[in-house]
Amino acid sequence: MKVLVANLGSTSFKYRLFDLSSDVQLARGGIDRIGSAESSCQVEIGDYSDTATRHIPDHAAAVKICLEQLTDAEHGCLGAVSEVAVIGFKTVFAGRLSGVRVVNEELLAAMEELSDIAPAHNPPYVKAMRQLREACPEIPLVAALETGFHDTIPLANRSYAVPAAWRTDYQVQRWGFHGASHRYITTRIAEILGRDDLRVISCHLGGSNSLCAAKDGVSLANSLGMSPQSGLPHNNRVGDFDPFALPVLMRATGKSLAELLEDLANKSGLLGVSGLSGDVRDLEEAAAEGHAGAQLALDVFVAAIRQYVGAYLAVLGGADAIVFTGGIGENSQLIRQQVCDNMAWAGIELDTELNQQVDGETKISTAGSATEVWVLQTNEEIIVARQAAKAIS
């Protein structure tokens, strides 16, 4: 079965094509600046790659371009569009409509109603999926909700200390996100270690960040809460924040609630603390040159990760493995080192040399460390592809 996996932004469409009969990726590509006069189109199929510019008005047109690339007579990997069995979407949030779902009007309406929770994700997905249902009615669409992996989190770890009706009637609770990544990491580390009874702390660190505590492959806690703006600091999103600060800021700044929420969602996080950048690479370079704001941002980030690691050691009763993934988790030896510093009391001992020589799937803990520490490259798309295929089979 061939499955197309789509990752959407407001003006972008990125895709991967998988052949699940052999679990191989056949092609990948993307289109940026959708709706502008010159959209950028990239494609990689085997050894062939190409980049071009053209006007692409909307996501439906972007998908048609994608399908043209995949069925191109000279370089394509499909004989016909009909070979695509399903398009799977790494969808973020639809409240109680969690898990894996065939896209229908009920799902789209729920996503629209809850757009305040995922303002950067839900609107472009809803718009694009509606366009695709109309443009490609012969291809089923499946949404793999990012909250799905965390449906197993017990109420004690899921509930806020708010009036009960807020949870039951208004869906106010810790939902958890990055489900596809954490599902892949817990599955892959179990394969590597040859065990299905692991206690794992999965650290997805990139532009958006979260930690997950999983036992026996089942999620028990996630640092992201009601929205993707919570938990750890993100590149430009706030992370954990006391809402009672908002009235103070409204009086002091004269800004409206909507304006302050915009600041928290787009001008905060590592960018806000540093006053420089939300990119850890920039911050590490600037901190090395003495930039105090950059150093503080890194310190705040590491402190938050360590606090959640400590909490999840308590949730799991210790850990068999801690796994770093995502752009930061895979590439920043400094963040990994500082997160694991002085953690021997918890059975976590990093091998400094191994941490500096990461290449692919790498164990970076010492031989004597009771908890193994690994760096793994996540693969959210293959998880979505498998889920989408299962949903229509």
For residue range 318-343, list pLDDT tens digits in order: 999 999 999 999 999 999 999 999 99
State the pLDDT confidence band at 121, using cuts at 50, 70 and 90.
Answer: confident
215 belongs to an annotated ligand binding site: no
* Residue pLDDT, tens place only, 279-298: 999 999 999 999 999 999 99
**What confidence category does residue 161 fall into, taking pLDDT thresholds of 50, 70 and 90?**
very high
Lowest mean pLDDT among 47-51, 252-256, 311-315: 47-51
pLDDT on residue 203: 98
Closest CA to 302 of 187, 163, 203, 175: 203
Q: Assign 52 to helix, strand or coil.
A: strand
Determine if residue 7 is labeled as part of a ligand binding site.
Answer: yes
Same fold, 2-145 and 194-375: yes
Query: How does the average pLDDT of the chain come out, rounded?
Result: 95
Bigger pLDDT: 333 vs 60: 333
pLDDT at 101 over 70: yes
Helix (H, G, I), strand (E, B) or coil at 59: helix
Assigned CATH for 194-375:
3.30.420.40
CB 205 within 8 A of CB 325: yes
Question: How far is the C-alpha of 360 from the C-alpha of 168, rounded, in Å?
Answer: 44
Only one residue has tokens 């908890």, namely: 371
The residue written with tokens 């290449």 in the block is 359
Span 351-370, pLDDT tens digits: 999 999 999 999 999 999 99
328 is in an annotated binding site: yes
Domain ranges of the chain: 2-145, 194-375
- 304 torsion bin: left (phi>0), alpha (psi -120 to 50), beta (else): alpha
Residue 33: pLDDT over 90? no
Binding site annotation covers 327?
yes
Q: What is the mean pLDDT of residues 212-234?
A: 97
Q: Any residues with CB less than 8 A from the CB of 262 and at least 6 apart, and which?
A: none
Is 380 annotated as contributing to ligand binding? yes
Tell me the pLDDT band of 10, cut-offs 50, 70 and 90: low
- Given a cut of 90, is residue 8 above it in pLDDT? no
Examine the pLDDT at 120 and tell me if it is beyond 90. no
In the block, tokens 């692409």 appear at 56
Most distant CA pair in the chain, distance: 63
355 among annotated binding-site residues: no
In the chain, the percentage of residues whose pLDDT exceeds 90 is 84
**Checking phi first, is residue 8 left (phi over 0); if not, alpha (psi -120 to 50) or beta?**
beta
- Per-residue pLDDT at 392 exceeds 80: yes
Across 34-48, 92-106, 246-260, 358-372, least confident range: 34-48
Strand partners, 372: 321
> What pLDDT does residue 93 have?
96
What's the mean pLDDT in 43-51? 93
What digits encode the pLDDT tens for the residues 309-319?
A: 999 999 999 99
Q: Is 363 annotated as ligand-binding?
A: no
Task: Indicate the residue type of 269.
Answer: G
State the alpha helices, DSSP H only, in the chain.
59-70, 105-113, 122-135, 155-158, 164-170, 179-193, 245-253, 257-266, 269-274, 280-288, 292-316, 326-331, 333-340, 352-355, 380-392
pTM of the predicted protein model:
0.93
SS (H, E, C) 211-234: EEEEECCEEEEECCCCCCCCCCCC
Instruction: Please tell me the distance from the alpha carbon of residue 319 to that of residue 346, in angstroms, as a whole number.
Output: 9
Share of the chain above pLDDT 70, in %: 100
Task: Average the pLDDT over 18-24 and give the result.
Answer: 93
Check the annotation: does 342 bind a ligand: no
Consult the annotation and say whether 14 binds a ligand.
yes
- Tell whether residue 330 is among the known ligand binding residues: yes
Q: What DSSP letter does each residue of 285-315 carry, written as one string?
A: HHHHTT-HHHHHHHHHHHHHHHHHHHHHHHH
Main-chain dihedrals φ then ψ at residue 124, nearest 5 degrees:
-65, -35
Of 133-147, 148-162, 168-182, give the lowest mean pLDDT range.
Answer: 133-147
Predicted local distance difference test score (pLDDT) of residue 282: 97
The DSSP bridge partners found for residue 213 are: 201, 221
DSSP string for residues in 116-164: TTSTTTHHHHHHHHHHHHHH-TTS-EEEE-TTGGGGGS-HHHH--SS-H
- Domain 2-145: which CATH number of 3.30.420.40, 3.30.750.200, 3.30.1330.10, 3.40.50.2300: 3.30.420.40
**Residues contacting residue 381 through CB under 8 Å, at least 6 positions apart:** 5, 7, 16, 18, 25, 90, 180
Confidence of residue 227 (pLDDT cuts 50, 70, 90): very high
For residues 20-49, average pLDDT: 91
